[in-house]
Amino acid sequence: MLPKVNRLKKKQDIERVFKKGEGFKEDLLFLKIAKNRLSQTRFAFIISKKVSQKAVIRNRIRRKLSEAVGTRLKKLKKGIDALVIVLPGFAIKDFWEMDEVINKIFAKAKILKIQNPKIKC
């Protein structure tokens, strides 16, 4: 579960990311990011009833995505608001597939910090 400081809760913040954010798509996941003036990176997960009619399944997807993002929080750049939007068909993926898709979409959006800078010999 994401810490409270890393959750995007207010409707006006989510609408701002929708309107002014930059979008990235990978597999059945859509990521929309916008800069904020904070020292934290915040996330919100949007999973509509088109993905699954059952709330249990939607919440399970939300928990899995939240865990995948939470493990990467220290590797992410600061000052970003992000919406993770799940598209229909994503419900059949297991945790490892979701984790891989999150990794790819973060790399595509370039919000991961450089982990291994080039060392000059």
The CATH number of the domain holding residue 79 is 3.30.230.10
- The residue with tokens 């493990």 is 71
Instruction: Report the number of distinct structural domains present in the chain.
Output: 1
| Assigned domain for 119 exists | no
How high is the pLDDT of residue 20?
94
Residue 58 forms part of a structural domain: yes
Identify the pLDDT of residue 118: 53
What pTM was estimated for this model as a whole? 0.88
Whether 116 maps to a domain, the answer reads: no
Determine, yes or no, domain membership for 115. Answer: no
Residue 70 lies in a domain: yes
Q: Is residue 120 part of a domain?
A: no
The C-alpha R_g of the chain, in whole angstroms, comes to 15
Query: Over its length of 121 residues, how does the chain's per-residue pLDDT go in tens digits?
Result: 899 999 999 999 999 999 999 999 998 999 999 999 999 999 999 999 999 999 999 999 999 999 999 999 999 999 999 999 999 999 899 999 999 999 999 999 999 987 554 545 4
How many CA atoms does the CB half-sphere of 49 hold within 13 Å?
A: 2
Q: Which domain holds residue 26?
A: 4-109
Tell me whether residue 117 is in a domain: no
> Is 90 a domain residue?
yes
Beta-carbon contacts of residue 83 (< 8 Å; ≥ 6 apart): 8, 14, 17, 18, 21, 31, 32, 33, 43, 44, 45, 46
